[in-house]
Structure 1
Amino acid sequence: MNLFPKYIKLFGAKVLVEEFIQKPNKPIHEKELAGFLKEWYAPEDFVEVKTSGSTGTPKTIRLKKEFVATSAQRTIHFFQLKKDDRVLHCLPLKYIAGKLMVVRAMLGELDLRLIEPSSDFSYLQTEKFRFAAMVPNQVAKILKAEAILGKWLGNIEKLLIGGSAITYSLEKQLQNLKTDCYSSYGMTETATHIALRKMNGHGAVGWYRCLENISVSLSDNGCLQIYIPGLESQPLQTTDLAELKDDKTFRILGRSDNVIISGGIKFSPEQIEKKLESFISTPFLISSLRHEPLGEQLVLVVEGKKSDLEIKRLMKICRSELNKYEQPRQIRFLRQLPRTANGKFNRKGVAEVVLL
């Protein structure tokens, strides 16, 4: 495997990497690409990447280039990407997902189409792609902009969606698309996804399946452990509560550090949210308040303006869809739910605001 090819294909043209790095007056997203290529071709055997901060303070970690390249090859093999396939790059290059799109293009000799992440995506009306990776917010934005559902996204043959949770309503919309849509499970430390789940069409499933040479197990407290070649210490311990079918197949139940203990009972807010998400269209999540004697009290936090009518509607939904122990004791409204830099809900930030 040649980690450092001389050329990269951009917008159908074979470009000498060294010349692209030195090219003046590039748009901002091409400058970011040049910056990553400069780091990739530097003599160090690692690249530095930033974690998203969804489970704590964002940090910078180092990943071996060979480890990153192996991850890229897994994706190429899974999606059967071939030389000169057109692939859409519309992710920020400061995160690992954006960097991996570049590495895949280099190693697979793919035709990379680099687009500003905040694009309006109107080019999808006429441009066709073999493969693309997006975050859920981008997919939702495209679906909202389409005059006919799937008219634009239908021009992407295979779509990888990750970076944050995919809502019930979004996944439901994907069922009507001809595009093969996959949900990814992974993290910065694993150089993006270690497992995929097909969400629509033939072969759609509710469980993630590990990619080649990767397996999983559960820790004593029920959290996912990942075995992946190239990691210095095995297994990689996550804080994700999971259920396993076997050592290659699993589903995520929530995060152990999000667990709420009320009246001596442990609740996964993600599992409660899953029961409600098909009935509540506005952004929301389950949080908690300190309470005596329960310890913590479940609270439904909704993005929007408070109204007595909405409170009654939400309470009716909760009574219908949740068991008596899962019922939120209060409903709070926030103008906007706090989010991390890459759009995930900041649960710690929500809890701090709710406490006020």
Structure 2
Amino acid sequence: MFRSHLNSIFVSHCDDSLFYDVERKQSISYSVFLCDVKKVIEKIQNSYEKSLDIVSALNNNYTTLVLYFAAFMLGRRLILIEPLKGKNEFHKMLAISNNPVIFCDIVGVDSLHFTSEDINKWIKEELSRNSQYFNLDIETSLIHLSELVTFTSGTTDVPKAVLHTFDNLAQSAISFSKQMEFDHHNIFIHTFPMCYMAGVLNSFVLPLFLGGKCVIGERFGINTVFSFWDNVISNDVDVIWFNPTMLEIITKMFKNKSEEISKYCVDKKVLGIVATAPLTEESWKNFENIFSLPLYNSYGLSETLFISTNAPKFKNYSSVGKILEGVDVKILEGSEVGLKVKWRCIGYLNNNIENNLEGNYYKSGDIGIVNKQMLHITGRIKDLIIRGGLNINPFVIEHILKKSIGSNYVIIGAPDRILGEKILMVVEGNKLDTSLRTLNKLLEQELGNEFKIDEIKTIDKIPVNSNGKLDRKNILEKLNDIKN
């Protein structure tokens, strides 16, 4: 059904703008995008017809989205890897693929692969009318057979590979859009990393199923923050996806220019949706007051996609929003939030999802309550560190460091106003002879830049629970006691 729906969007909006590419200063229509996709399909099919998987570790740009949609229309499995990963981590993730075609922008990777620049060259070529793909449309494509794999943090040194169908993405996007009352007039901006689920579902698939428009901005970061509002205002953007770290940085950097930004947000009726990590009520209200931009906190997981969202018709500062149509939430033992959705992932490629299920409900690892269909998240069972909107698994860091410095330490998350949580290394006594700089150099090489430790603190004795296991939850309390 969704193939017909998507095909009709491309037909009815063929001459409308689908993307504006900030980097190339170019508008791309639905028909031009589909033509570029066909060119990439032809290149892949001519040389790699028997390849089962397409692996992408590409930077944020238009050509990356062309590759994604080409993979979907070919009915292939698309595996996404963070291009900021170290090459060792890249090869670990690559191991789950089956006879892949590799597209990679990671410097130093020694596998045979293509880059973003190769795709850019392909789409500059003409597609011959004699090509068997010239008349290919979405309804006759294999998009219904395609799969998407994104990585999330697991409990080992290899992240879990979450497997979804394109149908899952479509259903989730349509349900979310319905609750937010989006339509084809909305203009989104894409600043999330394209290698994670939020960069595919929130900022690409969702606008596509609306027949809307998406501005392809730069991946948000300290180096790109100064052009953020220029890209929003110059392209008439009226829907912005944020994460809590973005909100804190933008508030700090643009507080003195808030009058001009506020005027634009009011005139264009701009709204912001917050995803990827919890948002505090203080940060929420502070941002709205400064920029006159209403925010709507939402909730979802890589495994379950969209679950709930606040919206203009129902907004609660203590809630992650109203539960979406197609979602069933059940509070399990220990107040853990259980999720049953039509678009739950098929499973993990490198792990057993049954361990995360209770009947038909996915165990979220979050603690919460439901009140009048509004979901409230009150805590987190998992030990994951959510740093700047990214899930960081502390066990991965400990596993790497154990080879070099032993195990008289623990990695935990500590509250941080800018990042949400920072990575804290707590060392027992004064048993650390290695500098923070040396440790981070090792972590960056093995795992990537996002795994670097933010701070080191010492404690007389690392607490353990009754089972003799590290009591991570109690460590911060002990550090605070020492400070006081």
Q: What is the TM-score of this pair, normalised by structure 2? A: 0.51
After superposition, give the CA deviation of every residue in 1:268-315 in whole Å (9 maximum; x if it has no partner): x99x96xxx89x999668998633798748344xxxxxxxxxxxxxxx
Q: Which has the higher contact order (CA 8 A, sep 6+)?
A: 2
Q: Distance in 2 between matches of 1:27 and 1:216?
A: 36
Aligned to 2:319: 207
Q: Tell me: CA distance 1:205–1:64, structure 2 relative to 1, closer, same or farther (3 Å).
A: same
How many angstroms does 1:40 deviate by? 2.0
Q: Tell me: CA distance 1:201–1:80, structure 2 relative to 1, closer, same or farther (3 Å).
A: closer
Aligned to 2:205: 103
Deviates most, 175-184 or 66-75: 175-184
After superposition, give the CA deviation of every residue in 1:30-77 in whole Å (9 maximum; x if it has no partner): 121112111221224232232342876422222111111011111221
Matches within 5 A, 1:107-256: 107-118=209-220, 119-120=224-225, 121=228, 122-146=230-254, 147-149=256-258, 151-152=260-261, 155=265, 157-167=270-280, 169-176=282-289, 177-191=291-305, 193-197=306-310, 203-208=315-320, 209-231=322-344, 234-245=360-371, 248-256=373-381
Aligned to 1:89: 190
> Does the aligned pair in 2 maintain the 1:143–1:150 contact within 8 Å?
no
Deviates most, 290-299 or 167-176: 290-299
> Does the aligned pair in 2 maintain the 1:242–1:252 contact within 8 Å?
yes
Aligned to 1:53: 153
Q: Which has the higher strand share?
A: 1
> Does the aligned pair in 2 maintain the 1:287–1:299 contact within 8 Å?
no
Q: Tell me: CA distance 1:149–1:69, structure 2 relative to 1, closer, same or farther (3 Å).
A: same
- Work out the number of aligned pairs and report it: 290
Q: Distance in 2 between matches of 1:68 and 1:97?
A: 11
Q: Distance in 2 between matches of 1:172 and 1:164?
A: 16
Aligned to 2:29: 14
Matches within 5 A, 1:312-327: none
2:278 alignment partner AA: A
The answer as to 2:176 corresponding to 1:75 is yes
Q: Distance in 2 between matches of 1:242 and 1:196?
A: 15
How many angstroms does 1:196 deviate by? 1.6
Q: Distance in 1 between matches of 2:298 and 2:420?
A: 24
Q: Distance in 1 between matches of 2:319 and 2:278?
A: 14
2:375 alignment partner AA: F
Aligned to 1:33: 65
> Does the aligned pair in 2 maintain the 1:105–1:111 contact within 8 Å?
yes
Q: Distance in 2 between matches of 1:282 and 1:13?
A: 36
SS at match of 1:87: strand
Structure number with bigger Rg: 2
Q: Distance in 2 between matches of 1:89 and 1:229?
A: 26
> Does the aligned pair in 1 maintain the 2:148–2:163 contact within 8 Å?
yes
Query: How many percent identity over aligned positions?
Result: 14
CA RMSD of aligned residues (A): 3.9
How many angstroms does 1:195 deviate by? 0.9
Segments of 5+ residues of structure 2 without an aligned counterpart are: 21-26, 44-57, 77-144, 347-358, 385-411, 427-460
Q: Which has the higher helix share?
A: 2
> Does the aligned pair in 2 maintain the 1:48–1:60 contact within 8 Å?
no
How many angstroms does 1:175 deviate by? 3.5
> Does the aligned pair in 2 maintain the 1:50–1:58 contact within 8 Å?
no
Q: What is the TM-score of this pair, normalised by structure 1? A: 0.68
Segments of 5+ residues of structure 1 without an aligned counterpart are: 260-268, 301-324, 333-356
